[in-house]
Amino acid sequence: MGAFFLNNPISVAPNLLTKTSNFMCDWCCIDGSLMWKKNKNKNMVLYCQSSSGIVKTSNGLPAILTERSSSSPIPSMAADQSSGLIDAGSLVLSPNSKIQEDVAAKDLVPYSSTTNKSFMEFPEGIGIVRFLKGKQLLITGATGFLGKVLIEKILRTVPDVGKIYVMIKAKSKEAAVERLKSEIITTQLFKCLQQTHGQSYKTFMLSKLIPVLGNVCESNLGIEPDLADEIANEVDIIVNSAANTTFDERYDVALDINTQGPYRLMTFAKRCTKLQLFLQVSTAYVNGQRQGRILEKPFCIGESIARERVTSEILTGSLPVLDVKAEIKLALESREALQENLVAQKMKELGLERARIFGWQDTYVFTKAMGEMLIDNMRGEIPVAIIRPSVIESTYKEPFPGWMEGNRMMDPIVLYYGKGQLTGFLVDPEGVLDVVPADMVVNATLAAMAKHGATGKPGINIYQIASSVVNPLVFQDLAGLLFEHFSSSPYMDSRGRPIQVPKMKLFSSMCDFSSHIWTEAVQRSGRVLAPDVSSQGKLSKRLDTICRKSVEQAKYLANIYEPYTFYGGRFDNSNTQKLMEVMSEEERRSFAFDVGSIDWRDYISNVHIPGLRRHVMKGRGTCTAN
């Protein structure tokens, strides 16, 4: 797991700081092959990329960047203080070269605004509950964050739904049953259902949830033949939520899950005799480096963002055509040709390189986009709905506010900031972080499912579940909310003393950010490792190495996250808004997903951060009064 060494134990004379800052600016540009991009708005360097589009990777950087990183528990406060490390493996943020000037002013709505639409009346609504009654579903990714919220909502609102086949990766059937119990049935998320069903809760859950030992990376999905036949005969809806969400995953691994996974499921879908809908959970960021207001448009096979963004025919001719099959072949052949000890790093680099050549920011979103292309190419008569949420964060209201799992997107930054370990980040202060609460994503998913499942019309329907057009959360406002929250409810250090946080610094240039990281690393280290500074005020070799490593890692991560912190697109959600308009009054209450109605101050301060502290930090660093 990648780590920022922000807490390094060494001390240094103040006069060294200026010098090191200058050094860091030089260091930013040290490699002649690096290409700096200018942000016109700010006259500052924004990010660097090699001329081939490959992100420069420092030796031994094990950065793992993911939409969710539950496998990387946040260290306890005590551990934080002593280790001197900050786990930046899942810091959020990466982006585009082109910035805000492409976003038409008319597309942007001020931070505080909310949509206040008067909906047309549809007394019958979509009929979500009616549609789901008795339906049999196959769900992949059910042990994941979103999958669980989906299952909980279905079972709570439609208890007479049919069987839900839950695909689970495991070594044996018994192990799959065990995962179903320990990772779904007994989790706190299901506490409302536990209260409703009391003693019969477990029986109810086991009568509905059928564990299916399987894997989207295996042929026939790894499902044993008899069970596969049963599912093929029974299932009405397939939901594919399985994914690898690591931004810089190995290319072969990401292709297998995010691109070939949908292909294998679609192949299975063709065997399903009564299938009414194939629902793919994708991401709004499949839109890659598109700019401005981005419409809910499907991908056709062979499309690429790079070609789309080039207007001249001559230039288009020089761009490679995206051939999904050829990409899979390339990944496999590259893997075969590599020495064992180089495979992991080289395959990560290959994914980022291919993504950027074709106009996507990273391997995750590129492979998800190719998954969408294969679905569209194969669907034939099967009705398809593609749900594209932006950054999914904790539940807004249901089953209770603030539930979440794992250390997701913006959360590592929030937590390290709260703990006083990170006081700045590389981000466009006027940029927008597109966040949506998990329960709203699930509600919109169920509405789309019912709408298209009920009509059973062949076709592909895209829903972007996103806030950046209707209710944008601006980075500098977010930073202000974080400051407010941690000032009034501070974290406690290992000795029970409140940690005072400064206002978060938002850097528009990599050079300034690197310099800040260096200064912070040296200052923090100084508190513990005073002997590492000589009487002449020089840094010891050890301190120098540690601080350089901090900066290298910070730069690598900032590069990966930059497409998100400087994202030049806003996700249009007209289809999602229209879906809301055809819901009945009752459905709008029970399956609400009006992202325009979110009060970000309330959500961030009173729902999301408390949820993060409770469910992810498990209350560590929070005094009882909080």
Ligand X SMILES: NC(=O)c1ccc[n+]([C@@H]2O[C@H](COP(=O)([O-])OP(=O)(O)OC[C@H]3O[C@@H](n4cnc5c(N)ncnc54)[C@H](OP(=O)(O)O)[C@@H]3O)[C@@H](O)[C@H]2O)c1
At 133, the amino acid letter reads K
- CA angle 165–169–174, rounded 5-degree value: 80
Question: Total binding residues for ligand X by CB under 6 A?
Answer: 29
Nearest approach in angstroms of CB 260 to ligand X is 10
Cα distance between residue 260 and residue 279, in whole Å: 16
Cα distance between residue 305 and residue 294, in whole Å: 12
Cα distance between residue 533 and residue 414, in whole Å: 32
Nearest approach in angstroms of CB 213 to ligand X is 10
Nearest approach in angstroms of CB 70 to ligand X is 7
**Catalytic residue at 364?**
yes
Locate tokens 């939901």: which residue?
239
Is residue 100 within 8 A of residue 431, CB to CB? The reply is: yes
Cβ nearer to ligand X, comparing 367 with 421: 367
SS3 502: coil
Is residue 148 within 8 A of residue 142, CB to CB? The reply is: yes
Active-site option among 163, 346, 368, 555: 368
If binding is defined by CB under 6 A, does position 262 make contact with ligand X? no
Nearest approach in angstroms of CB 222 to ligand X is 8
Please state, in angstroms and as integers, the Cα–Cα distance from residue 302 to each residue in 250, 277, 325, 335, 411, following that order. Answer: 22, 24, 10, 23, 35
CB atoms inside a 10 Å sphere around CB 494: 14
Residues 381-400 that bind ligand X (CB under 6 A): 389, 391-392
Q: Considering only 43-51, 225-233, 243-251, 353-361, which stretch makes contact with ligand X by CB under 6 A?
A: 243-251
Closest CA to 86 of 419, 375, 326, 321: 419
Nearest approach in angstroms of CB 80 to ligand X is 24
Nearest approach in angstroms of CB 545 to ligand X is 34
If binding is defined by CB under 6 A, does position 242 make contact with ligand X? yes
Alpha helices in 170-223 (DSSP H): 173-179, 191-197, 201-208
Upstream peptide bond of 498 is cis (omega within 30 degrees of 0): no
Q: Which residue is nearest to ligand X (CB)?
A: 144
Is residue 289 within 8 A of residue 359, CB to CB? The reply is: yes
The mark string for 55-74 relative to ligand X (x by CB under 6 A, - otherwise) is: ------------xx------
Cβ nearer to ligand X, comparing 108 with 409: 409
Residues 430-469 that bind ligand X (CB under 6 A): none
> Is the Cα torsion angle 119, 123, 129, 135 positive or negative in sign?
negative
Cα distance between residue 326 and residue 67, in whole Å: 27
Q: What are the backbone dihedrals phi and psi of residue 500, each rounded to the nearest 5 degrees, phi first? A: -85, 130
CB atoms inside a 10 Å sphere around CB 104: 11
Cβ nearer to ligand X, comparing 45 with 138: 138
> Is the Cα torsion angle 424, 426, 428, 431 positive or negative in sign?
negative
* Helix and strand totals (H; E) in the chain: 24, 17
Is residue 372 within 8 A of residue 282, CB to CB? The reply is: yes
Cβ nearer to ligand X, comparing 466 with 546: 466
Q: Which of 109, 175, 177, 217 binds ligand X (CB under 6 A)?
A: 217
**Catalytic residue at 191?**
no
If binding is defined by CB under 6 A, does position 511 make contact with ligand X? no
Query: Which tokens go with 442?
Result: 């699930």
Q: Which of 7, 20, 136, 215 binds ligand X (CB under 6 A)?
A: 215
Cβ nearer to ligand X, comparing 8 with 215: 215
Cβ nearer to ligand X, comparing 6 with 378: 378
Which helix (H) or strand (E) element contains residue 36?
A: strand 34-39
Cβ nearer to ligand X, comparing 146 with 504: 146
| Rg of the chain in Å (alpha carbons) | 24
Residues 137-176 that bind ligand X (CB under 6 A): 140-147, 167, 169
Nearest approach in angstroms of CB 541 to ligand X is 40
Cβ nearer to ligand X, comparing 254 with 579: 254
Q: Which of 90, 260, 283, 395 binds ligand X (CB under 6 A)?
A: 283
Cβ nearer to ligand X, comparing 283 with 622: 283
Nearest approach in angstroms of CB 539 to ligand X is 39
Q: Which of 243, 442, 449, 557 binds ligand X (CB under 6 A)?
A: 243
Closest CA to 392 of 375, 411, 373, 376: 411
Closest CA to 576 of 457, 455, 465: 465
Q: Which of 281, 324, 386, 427 binds ligand X (CB under 6 A)?
A: 281
Active-site option among 364, 417, 556, 603: 364
Q: Which residues are catalytic?
A: 364, 368
- Residues within the interface to ligand X (CB under 6 A): 67-68, 140-147, 167, 169, 215-217, 241-245, 257, 281, 283, 368, 389, 391-392, 408-409
